[in-house]
Structure 1
Amino acid sequence: MRGGHAAALVAGLAFAQFWSGAAPAAAVASGVEAGSPLELTEIIARPKVVDLKVSPDGRHYATTAVTDDGRTILHILDRRTMAVVHSEVYGGPLGVGEFGWHDADHLLITSTYKSELAEGRGSAGIFILNVKTKEIRRVWGGEGTSDYGGFEGGDLGARIDDRHYWLTVGPSGSTYSEFPFFYLYKLDIFTGRATKVLKSPSRAASFVFDKDNQVTHAIGLPPDDFDTTVVHRRKGDEWVLEGTYRNAEGVSVPVRWHKWDTNRILYRDNRDAQTFGYYWVDATTGAKELIYREPRVDADEVVFDEDDVAIAAKHQYDYPTYVPLKPDHRLVVRRQRLVAAFPGQQVSIESSTADGIEHVLRVHGDREQGQFYLWNEYDGKIRHLLDPRPNVKAADMPATQAVRFKARDGMELVGYLTVPQHKPAKNLPLVVLPHGGPHGVRDSWGYDMEAAAFANAGYAVLKINYRGSGGYGKDFHYGWYRHWGLEMQDDLEDGVLWAAGAGIADVDRVCIYGASYGGYAALMGVVKTPDRYRCAIGYVGVYDLNIMHESGDISRSKAGRKYLDDALGTDPADRAARSSTPHVDRIEVPVFLVHGMQDDRAHFRHYEEMREALKAKNHRFETLLVPRAGHGARDLASVREVTCRMIDFLDRHIGDREPTDPPDECQFPGSKKLPYEYFEGTS
């Protein structure tokens, strides 16, 4: 339900993602018809390729794909023929997590619980695959490493030498009343021997290493507070507290040491400003040298050359933006030549050969999940490798543009508008889609399968970074705690008025839909402003803040209870006043509730009590349950039926059909139908 503080990693020679033109915005504004709607199964589909990495010697590719039941599998491809020479497929709920080449002959793989049956569990082990012999061995199993016992999650970190990596270990799951301590191990990937090095001085900590791979800092949490960051510095064999920071007041966290200057360390800091910037800090004197800060939005990362000179920075106020700090630097110039080949797209280097000549590129944007290319830096040639969605052309997908508008109090808000690809962007039925979280989370420009599905069905889709969203400064993030249902809700309505005023949306055909906090906002929208929306869809939503305060996984930990007090308030009457279930009598439009029956985040009680309240009122509503799902459906069949049912609901209430029309069946070949209810009611 929320986003936590995390220090962003700074890229080395990798190129930052970027926005290189205004083509999508122009396409939306022009309302050019660009094809007919796609089949829903073409949009709601698993990508054929999720990630692709070239081996250090350039002879193989390692790729991952996702099965229909949500597991990730791995393939090894022969570079010359592109044929699959080996596959790793785990049984049961296991799937491939992260992977990376150790050397030309060995691939490191983490396995994770990837099915809808095992949400919240961590790594199930670390494996090493010999590409030549096809032998795979488990080198770390996830049990009994720390003092906690039971099942544990491990995060494979930086490489130490030719056979050792850092491994951070902690208990898996969220059953602890307080945040646990983490343990740092030195793992031999060939023997599986894990040597304990230290225990973190703070809870749930990450570590910073110097150029000699020695631990110098730990960044973690206190036992019982999501919104406080604790930084310790290593002094000999002891830990010294460097700072305890309330995130709302500003944080200063070390990121990494300078590659060559042993007295300089990179920090990410927002103590003296609203947004995060990057600094070099003198480790002896504490003197700070600002590298980059954008006053409107957090700096995402800084790009450095091999001498650790900052050459560019990245942020995303609305579109992803690459800011050259050294415009004439050879790497910046090289990047400009590279991205010119893909106008209107984002480009990132996913992996490179050991000689630095060949690079796997991922090219993606608002209409494209990501094409993979091989770029030869020596001869400048770019060759297409794999298409994750070979049956769908990017030109046939809906386009998305960033928008800005003023809220009723004059605050500028950023949103993202997706429109149908097959009809003019004028007077369209509109779906308002608030993101989940809500605090610390934000929407960004890029491909969104859900928004694409709605737009493909003929609807404009508006996503808004309402106040409380992350990235736009401390006050924008933390200053709106306890404002659920108030200004945070008004921002969504102001977005509707902007879209209608711009001629894009028909103000009389608007539905609000969201998941998690978005489900809260959807139902509160039709409670607070019943004349603004024609329908509402809540997906794994929160409908009673008092239920959230006492039920679900967040409320079971000390930190979670403190967060709920801070974000929702401590007065039960005030929480009830900002909840939809106690005020169901104000709802005047049809409602569709979708929920996972195993949901422990937005507890299933939210659904049960809202449904009973609607039924007691004899109000028209529909429901869809996903029996095996937790906080959202994961398997492809369920996702397709959920999306199909939502589009059918929209069609009958703001689309071309009538509210009295019978619902579609939404049955897909080979899939088991989910429990669906249609309650006609009289109101």
Structure 2
Amino acid sequence: MYKIYPFLAVIPLAIASTVVTSISQCLANLPPLIPRQTLFGNPERTNPQLSPDGKYLSYIAPNKNNVLQVWVRTVGKEDDQILTTDKKRGIRSYFWTYNPGELVYLQDADGDENFHLYVANIKSKQVRDLTPFKGVNAELIAAERKFPNEILVGLNIKDPRKHDAYRINLSTDKSTLEMVNPGTVEQTVADPQMKIRAVIATIANGGKTLSVRETVNQPWKTVRSWGPDDEGSAVNFSDDGKTLYIESSDHANATRLLSLNIATGKESVVAQDQQYDIGGVLVHPLTRKIQAVSFYKDKLAWQILDKSIAPDFQAIAKVHRGEFKIVARDLADKTWLVGYNTDDGPVYYYVYDRASKKSQLLFNSRPKLEKLSLAKKQPISYKSRDGLTIHGYLTTPVGIPSQNLPAVILVHGDLGHEIPGVTIP
């Protein structure tokens, strides 16, 4: 009589031998192990951005001590220089302001996640803490080209549980309270005049509500709600401030882009896919017009709404393999930075000139990955027991075909179960 111990399985010798043999054969066909540092260490360069006036190109890269910093170069020159001097954690998030030659970045202290907002000036090399409040976390709300000396920031100064909205003057560093958060607001949206005119708040049942106002002197009105199982968020206001674009999944199978008339509350569908959620929205930097919407199908696919950029997307799609996104553009809309995300290599960044429709490689994030044999991801789908289609991806080691995969012995509780390998046609 066998004695069964918890969390152990008695597996027949013949099955165990077969499994070991199959695993040994698979291991013999695998490429060498990749050092963790190559995959998970700091990128060589990443997150390129253009200053609004198109004069400067910035990116994140490590310094000689392997700490990530913001670097800047003059467009058309090779005068790269480090703009920031973070000592420990490294900088990962930054944004250009509309004040010429200034950018802001977020950084916390020793991982406490109380991110402060710093402003760095290219010419003076001066770095200032715009939110020098102990234990306070900053969240960027809005920056607007018409008001280059101001930014709107969420700060939890009065109550660590909620972020009130503050207006910060970039010339004086003065912070002025703009709007008090009652404690439920999770998203604050400003219009082109830098006035807060839309908020999304949580409600007791786990859902959310959207409230708007036509001017800051008028009362808030709740114009829609989402249930606890629905997704909803605001994208931006139109240039005239009369329309708010939102993403929503209610009354639909997937999130779609809607336009909401502030005065009437009427909604219209701007872009949707019957099966797939929105992946991103491309907005013109001057007109605030929605130009394209992406949907994450088997791979990222773009739905173009503004036909004037159709030739640009056609040219960009031919430059490099992978899923592409417009990661930055100048206010003149002459130059775009385009990122190509590959599943078996690094992210490639190109500079695209709209006049000539030509692209030039800027850099890729991890050059060492180019020499490695990395696995591709294969889109798959299958039916669930209730008849719905479940989408996913299958990745198998390089050199191992995705057919007749070896069985896996799953040990659960005190029983061993043989799980058949997945067969992909």
Is the pair's TM-score, using the shorter chain for normalization, greater than 0.5? yes
State the partner residue of 1:159: 143
Q: Structure 1: give runs of 5+ residues left out of the alignment.
A: 1-33, 144-150, 427-502, 512-524, 535-683
Please report how far the alpha carbon of residue 371 of structure 1 lies from its aligned counterpart in structure 2 after TM superposition: 1.5
Mapped to 1, the partners of 2:53 and 2:300 lie a distance apart of 33
Please report how far the alpha carbon of residue 309 of structure 1 lies from its aligned counterpart in structure 2 after TM superposition: 6.0
Letter in 1 for 2:392: G
State the partner residue of 1:61: 57
Q: Secondary structure at the match of 2:253?
A: coil
Letter in 2 for 1:91: K
1:473-522 superposed Cα distances (whole Å, 9 cap, x missing partner): xxxxxxxxxxxxxxxxxxxxxxxxxxxxxx2521x2467xxxxxxxxxxx
Q: Is the 8 A contact 1:98 1:111 kept in 2?
A: no
Q: Secondary structure at the match of 1:413?
A: strand
Mapped to 1, the partners of 2:369 and 2:197 lie a distance apart of 49
1:505 aligns with 2:405: yes
Residues 44, 300 of structure 1: CA spacing in aligned structure 2 closer, same or farther, 3 A cutoff? closer
1:215 aligns with 2:196: yes
State the partner residue of 1:48: 44
Please report how far the alpha carbon of residue 162 of structure 1 lies from its aligned counterpart in structure 2 after TM superposition: 1.9
Letter in 1 for 2:227: R
Please report how far the alpha carbon of residue 229 of structure 1 lies from its aligned counterpart in structure 2 after TM superposition: 1.0
Question: Which of the pair is proportionally richer in strand?
Answer: 2
Q: Is the 8 A contact 1:254 1:265 kept in 2?
A: yes
Q: Which moved more, 1:126-135 or 1:163-172?
A: 163-172
The TM-score with structure 1 as length reference comes to 0.51
Mapped to 2, the partners of 1:316 and 1:70 lie a distance apart of 34
Q: Which moved more, 1:273-282 or 1:64-73?
A: 64-73
Letter in 1 for 2:114: G
State the partner residue of 1:387: 364
- Write the mapping of 1:27-426 to structure 2, written as runs, cut at 5 A: 36-37=31-32, 39-41=34-36, 42-65=38-61, 72-93=68-89, 95-113=91-109, 118=111, 121-123=113-115, 125-143=116-134, 151-160=135-144, 161-170=147-156, 180-222=161-203, 227-234=206-213, 236=217, 238-248=219-229, 250=230, 254-260=234-240, 262-303=241-282, 311-325=291-305, 329-343=307-321, 345-393=322-370, 396-421=373-398, 423-426=399-402
Mapped to 1, the partners of 2:394 and 2:65 lie a distance apart of 30
Letter in 2 for 1:169: L
Residues 94, 204 of structure 1: CA spacing in aligned structure 2 closer, same or farther, 3 A cutoff? farther
Residues 296, 399 of structure 1: CA spacing in aligned structure 2 closer, same or farther, 3 A cutoff? same
State the partner residue of 2:23: none
The TM-score with structure 2 as length reference comes to 0.78
Mapped to 1, the partners of 2:75 and 2:414 lie a distance apart of 58
- Aligned alpha-carbon RMSD (Å): 3.4
Identity value in percent: 13
Mapped to 1, the partners of 2:311 and 2:404 lie a distance apart of 39
Please report how far the alpha carbon of residue 393 of structure 1 lies from its aligned counterpart in structure 2 after TM superposition: 0.9
Q: Is the 8 A contact 1:72 1:97 kept in 2?
A: no
Letter in 1 for 2:82: H
Please report how far the alpha carbon of residue 159 of structure 1 lies from its aligned counterpart in structure 2 after TM superposition: 1.8
Please report how far the alpha carbon of residue 404 of structure 1 lies from its aligned counterpart in structure 2 after TM superposition: 0.9
Letter in 1 for 2:72: I
Residues 527, 295 of structure 1: CA spacing in aligned structure 2 closer, same or farther, 3 A cutoff? farther
State the partner residue of 1:530: 416
Residues 527, 319 of structure 1: CA spacing in aligned structure 2 closer, same or farther, 3 A cutoff? farther
Q: Is the 8 A contact 2:312 2:354 kept in 1?
A: no
Q: Secondary structure at the match of 2:336?
A: strand
Mapped to 2, the partners of 1:394 and 1:220 lie a distance apart of 48
Q: Secondary structure at the match of 1:43?
A: helix
Letter in 2 for 1:355: A
Mapped to 1, the partners of 2:85 and 2:94 lie a distance apart of 14
Mapped to 1, the partners of 2:370 and 2:412 lie a distance apart of 37
Mapped to 1, the partners of 2:63 and 2:417 lie a distance apart of 43
State the partner residue of 1:621: none
1:22-54 superposed Cα distances (whole Å, 9 cap, x missing partner): xxxxxxxxxxxx994453243343211131113
Mapped to 2, the partners of 1:188 and 1:312 lie a distance apart of 33
1:82-133 superposed Cα distances (whole Å, 9 cap, x missing partner): 35322423234464532325444222222234x6xx36x231x222222122
Letter in 1 for 2:220: W
Residues 530, 408 of structure 1: CA spacing in aligned structure 2 closer, same or farther, 3 A cutoff? farther
Residues 394, 504 of structure 1: CA spacing in aligned structure 2 closer, same or farther, 3 A cutoff? farther
1:436-464 superposed Cα distances (whole Å, 9 cap, x missing partner): xxxxxxxxxxxxxxxxxxxxxxxxxxxxx
Q: Which moved more, 1:289-298 or 1:250-259?
A: 250-259
Letter in 2 for 1:158: A
Q: Secondary structure at the match of 1:333?
A: helix
1:49-88 superposed Cα distances (whole Å, 9 cap, x missing partner): 1311133454432221368999642222354453532242
Letter in 1 for 2:298: D
Please report how far the alpha carbon of residue 380 of structure 1 lies from its aligned counterpart in structure 2 after TM superposition: 2.6
Report how many residues are paired. Answer: 386
Residues 528, 348 of structure 1: CA spacing in aligned structure 2 closer, same or farther, 3 A cutoff? farther
Q: Secondary structure at the match of 1:181?
A: coil
Mapped to 2, the partners of 1:82 and 1:189 lie a distance apart of 29
Q: Is the 8 A contact 1:46 1:68 kept in 2?
A: no
Q: Is the 8 A contact 2:67 2:88 kept in 1?
A: no
Question: Which of the pair is proportionally richer in helix?
Answer: 1
Q: Secondary structure at the match of 2:137?
A: strand
1:192-212 superposed Cα distances (whole Å, 9 cap, x missing partner): 100101112452432122332
1:279-310 superposed Cα distances (whole Å, 9 cap, x missing partner): 22333333322222222232334445676665
Please report how far the alpha carbon of residue 236 of structure 1 lies from its aligned counterpart in structure 2 after TM superposition: 2.4
Mapped to 2, the partners of 1:341 and 1:528 lie a distance apart of 55
Residues 353, 239 of structure 1: CA spacing in aligned structure 2 closer, same or farther, 3 A cutoff? closer
